[in-house]
Amino acid sequence: MSKRLPRKNNSVLKRIGLRLLKLAVFLIIPIMLFIYAFELKEITVTGSLRYDEEQIMERLISSEADKNTLVLYLKYKYFTDVRIPFVEKVSFELVDKNSINIRVYDKRITGCIEFMGDYLYFDKDGIIVESTFNRLDDIPLIKGLKYQKIVLNEKLEVQKEELYGVILNLTQQIEKRELEVDTISFNDKYEVTVDLGDIKAMLGKRGTYDEILAKLKNITLEAKGQKLIIDMRSGTDYFIAKPEISAN
């Protein structure tokens, strides 16, 4: 019996070897060919004004498997939600086996409030969409809002619902006129004051702020470099401007 054992062991080893060979032929080799054939070589990222191409790629490609064109496409198409601050959604287009187009849609942010050292950003409906420690320069800080609770992804309940429409109108016109507004402030009468750094303009309470902000744009071009306080509450034809006196 001792002479037959090596033969049996050799036979078992041969069968195991053949099975491993078949596994390599029918499984491992096709996988290697798949990885090589769909190697991600080119990515085009468009649409975002807040993130560059490298920042988007860093957030979407987090593993070696993501460097496969088909794997990346299927992952975000059917299995994984994209979660990037200030991004509404991301769409993927499979160009060919080595290329993919990524379209990024930024969230529409109308303003932010400061709360306990953080900046909370809300959309046109007052939904708080993000919270950051550092403030985004192109989003105006809204002052004068009164609120009782703050919950991320829920509506910020303020003293007057119509204020969101006012803020939306203001921010749309500010963006259109390319005004560098730092803060938008409401007083107890809901009158608006905007701070542009060197210029502080009291706009008053209006139905829309289209015309008055167009006038303000012209004033900022003419008064470049001057520190002014402008009272524009009385109308749109005549304004009172006076130098801003430094507290020092």
pLDDT tens per residue, range 158-195: 888 888 889 999 999 999 999 999 999 999 999 999 99
Mean pLDDT of 89-110: 90
Mean pLDDT of 56-71: 84
Answer with the residue of higher pLDDT: 58 or 36: 58
Give the strand pairing for 228-231 and 199-204: parallel
**What's the pLDDT at 8?**
54
Tokens representing 60 are 């979407």
Beta bridge partners of 194: 184, 201
Answer with the residue of higher pLDDT: 133 or 242: 133
| Cα gap 42→123, rounded to integer Å | 34
Work out the end-to-end distance of the chain between its first and last CA atoms, rounded to an integer number of angstroms: 106
**What's the pLDDT at 1?**
45
* 221 phi/psi in degrees, rounded to 5: -70, -40
| Cα gap 68→75, rounded to integer Å | 10
Instruction: Note whether 163 and 186 are within 8 A (CB).
Output: yes
Is the model's pLDDT at 131 over the cut of 70?
yes
Q: In whole numbers, what is the pLDDT of the chain averaged over residues?
A: 83
**What's the pLDDT at 19?**
66
Q: Which amino acid is at 191?
A: E
Tokens representing 57 are 């790629």
pLDDT tens per residue, range 192-231: 999 998 889 999 998 889 999 999 998 888 877 788 898 9
Mean pLDDT of 128-140: 89
Give the strand pairing for 199-204 and 192-195: antiparallel
Mean pLDDT of 68-75: 83
Is the model's pLDDT at 6 over the cut of 60?
no
**What's the pLDDT at 62?**
81
